Amino acid sequence: MPSIIKRNGEEEGFIPEKIVVSCIKAGAPPSIAREIAKEVESIIPDKIESKEVRKIVLEALEKRNPKWVENWKIYDKAVKKRFE
C-alpha cells in the first residue's frame, strides 16, 4: 500500500475513501469519485506527498468537470483555510 507524506511530515497509509469523499464534496457523483480514487491509487508510487496526490486528483476532476475543481478550491479556502 502506498504511503502518503502529510503536510506536517507524518506518514499514513493511502486511504482511497478520503479521495472519494473529497470528490463528492466537490460535486462529483459517487461513481465518478470512486473511479478517480482507483485511478489515483493505480498511478501513485510507494511514497508520495499529499500535495502531489491533491494535484493528481484535481487534474482528474478537471478532465471530467472544471466546475468540480472550482468547488474543491472554494472548500479548501473556506474550510481548510488553504490558499494557492
Does residue 19 sit within a domain? yes
Distance CA(11)–CA(18), nearest Å, equals 15
Q: What is the pLDDT of residue 80?
A: 64
- Average pLDDT value for residue range 19-31: 96
Does residue 59 sit within a domain? yes
Does residue 84 sit within a domain? no
Per-residue pLDDT at 84 exceeds 60: no
Does residue 83 sit within a domain? no
Domain around 14: 3-78
Q: What is the pLDDT of residue 76?
A: 82
Does residue 29 sit within a domain? yes
Does residue 48 sit within a domain? yes
- Under the banding of pLDDT at 50, 70 and 90, the label for residue 81 is low
Q: Which of 56, 63, 48, 46 is nearest to 22 (CA)?
A: 56
The tally of domains found in the chain comes to 1
* Mean confidence (pLDDT) of the chain: 92
- Average pLDDT value for residue range 30-43: 97
Does residue 14 sit within a domain? yes
Distance CA(35)–CA(6), nearest Å, equals 23
